Structure 1
């Protein structure tokens, strides 16, 4: 009998020893291939050490591909992802449809009230946060101080589009492989249309009038493209119609661009001597205007959200709380320096003397973020909110279509007039089908 009891006890002991001490959860995270997101993936040992029961599976995609896959998955309730990287456009629309989990369990020390008010507002619905900002941005001018000086010009803190054209002409030296200006041309509602919609705002243009009638047949949109296309053909790099954020970042860091007007988040990369050959020569200015009271700057946040179809909500919120926390900011500062931390999300960062000292672009970044006005984005009144996008579900498809037309105009396969006519026709058809207009 004693032998039998010992044998049974031994078997129990062996079985207990063989079982894992915890149930493991694997989170599949869809994210964009931007520099800050790549850095986050390198930092995740800090998270997994504190949460050994959670494994991370990364799906890292180019911006346009990410948007397509994430939108398809959440709309069809595919359940492929547990954490989504989405933006200020999708968050309130998807929250209203019930596609996202409200983030109300980020922890007592998360300090949601520290999030910058414009960024937090864009990621909330009815006062509830549905996506936590990993980094926030507006847009501004980045330029080569040495080339500006060589051209005999001084960049104003508040430049006009007229000055930008003059400077681009003088800085262009194609024989030396230097182009006066690099701007987005890659088609996509969040690629070339982010830049062009924000620019059009400063030219007095708008997507729709107060009755939701498309406005691409107006002088203001014509003026926008008649500025952009000739400027890029004269002073932009070859193949500009294929260049988005990452392509222009690479060109600027290689010393190929005199000026680059794009996301404020790029400032941390163009001033990083590990990445940029011109890190010590970069200056910053506000996005240009046209004397009409609106600058061509946008408002955006790449953010992390939990789809309603995920069965791993608790683990997903733990990860999101870590990735968007003050602790994560301190972790990046410790490993890579204060100038590399994700910008544009927390008030406390812009009150931090160490950050202010390390980041010469900090003051202009926060000024650009706070001056973007999603409620009044245009010179003339509009029925929509959103600066570089229109906050309606139909915009994503319309933006893709119009982006293709405007990219074709830049590539020279279509005239500006034809691109605008096609944009007018396609948006009108969509708005009629959706019931906005008759």
Structure 2
């Protein structure tokens, strides 16, 4: 029996393809649709050259949807993802529950000790790192210097809420489509509830007293919601109850916001002339406080990469995380996009790098804001929880979102601020009783 050379060659080629396919590992990464993560997907050629045996597939989702999907997947052991983009809220809770793979064996070249202490601490459980920070952030004030100058005003580096209100009034020019202030209105524990929690901290308030009793019926929360609604109804953009981080970023870049109080990570996007029409007109200040209250409205967060326990592709997932959160990746972004656009808030060495400090006028305030946020003492009064813009208990994800929906409804004019607080108080009491925190 004879076999043609062509058939033999064809069989060899198929065999080689099968071997290559077997050697290639495909990992699925779930991530948020924020600018830094989108940029990373555009830089994957570098990873592919270094690791041709690993193929990365992306699932990129809006923040609220991402949180819902990864929480469901990890709690049910769905196995849909090999790398999760999660934050400072999830990591300690999921790490304790054994839902994440520890990252305590990163190579020396990764330099774990270079991670900013405040950020690293939030991702560590019992001395083990359970997620690697892609970028870290606090929050601060971004404002239009040209509009402030036109109004004959100057933004203090440490503004109060009264300063913010005066500036918002002075910069508002609705006839020309300029709104004095843009703030989060979209419902979600990590959207409007995050911002309003820090605002309440700066008014002297807290989520719970030491007996886990909700505090929405207290004076600080009343002042928080009243001031927030006054600012947004008088000086904010229309449809603000639908605006989260990305929507407000777009408005600011288009020159429609006089001021925006939000994540420090936005600084590189509002000062990038490729994307922002006001890139050369942006100033920065610390998050505000109320006169006489020694607590500012700044949070602490890190979008981080973690591996769900039970994945069959742990080594490939670790290889990807090591690349995406390394000094090498920072230098890659600097080379392609400029030093001002590297992922901020994760490494001490970045804030000692003269190239970065020169390119990023917001660097010092970002670091000061990160270092000033204290998750162990988030409020003026004592609290039984940790977390600055969230409460680090498993139940908070559902409670925070439900409370956020009440505040969003008040901003949309569907209910009053007073009614939103009453609803928040009763629903939080009900859930905390159900969970056994209070009788």
TM-score between both structures, scaled by the size of structure 1: 0.97
Output one character per residue of 1:321-376: Cα deviation in whole Å (capped at 9) or x when no partner: 00000000000000000000000000000000000000000000000000000000
Partner Cα separation in structure 1 for residue 247 and residue 135 of structure 2 = 20
**1:102 matched to which residue of 2?**
102
Contact 1:184 1:244 survives alignment (8 Å): yes
Pair 1:353 & 2:351 matched: no
Partner Cα separation in structure 1 for residue 241 and residue 142 of structure 2 = 20
Aligned positions of 1:396-435 closer than 5 A: 396-435=397-436
Shift of 1:45: 1.0
Q: Structure 2 unaligned segments of length 5 or more: list them.
A: none
Pair 1:245 & 2:245 matched: yes
Aligned positions of 1:320-335 closer than 5 A: 320-335=321-336
Pair 1:81 & 2:81 matched: yes
- RMSD of aligned C-alpha atoms? 1.8
Output one character per residue of 1:225-281: Cα deviation in whole Å (capped at 9) or x when no partner: 010001100000000111000000000000000000000000000000000000000
Partner Cα separation in structure 1 for residue 9 and residue 285 of structure 2 = 73
Partner Cα separation in structure 2 for residue 15 and residue 322 of structure 1 = 32
Contact 1:130 1:305 survives alignment (8 Å): yes
Shift of 1:23: 1.0
Output one character per residue of 1:369-420: Cα deviation in whole Å (capped at 9) or x when no partner: 0000000000111010000000000000000100000011111100011100
Partner Cα separation in structure 2 for residue 59 and residue 177 of structure 1 = 35
Partner Cα separation in structure 2 for residue 318 and residue 11 of structure 1 = 34
Distance 1:382 1:10, change over 3 A: closer
Shift of 1:48: 1.2
3-state SS of 1:179 partner:
coil
**1:149 matched to which residue of 2?**
149
**1:220 matched to which residue of 2?**
220
Distance 1:312 1:156, change over 3 A: same
Partner Cα separation in structure 2 for residue 318 and residue 201 of structure 1 = 39
3-state SS of 1:201 partner:
helix
Shift of 1:49: 1.1
**1:377 matched to which residue of 2?**
378
3-state SS of 1:367 partner:
helix
Deviates more, 1:101-110 or 1:358-367: 101-110
Contact 1:106 1:318 survives alignment (8 Å): no
Shift of 1:27: 0.5
Aligned positions of 1:339-350 closer than 5 A: 339-350=340-351
Output one character per residue of 1:11-51: Cα deviation in whole Å (capped at 9) or x when no partner: 99677645434611111000000000000001111111111
TM-score between both structures, scaled by the size of structure 2: 0.97
3-state SS of 2:204 partner:
coil
Contact 1:105 1:317 survives alignment (8 Å): no
3-state SS of 1:20 partner:
helix
Aligned positions of 1:85-164 closer than 5 A: 85-164=85-164
Partner Cα separation in structure 1 for residue 17 and residue 68 of structure 2 = 43
Partner Cα separation in structure 2 for residue 66 and residue 32 of structure 1 = 6
3-state SS of 2:181 partner:
strand
3-state SS of 1:383 partner:
coil
Partner Cα separation in structure 2 for residue 14 and residue 175 of structure 1 = 68
Q: Which runs of 4+ in 1 moved over 3 A?
A: 9-19
**1:305 matched to which residue of 2?**
306
3-state SS of 1:149 partner:
helix
Output one character per residue of 1:100-154: Cα deviation in whole Å (capped at 9) or x when no partner: 0001233221000000000000011011000100000000000000000111110
Partner Cα separation in structure 2 for residue 18 and residue 167 of structure 1 = 64
**2:19 matched to which residue of 1?**
20
Aligned positions of 1:192-231 closer than 5 A: 192-231=192-231
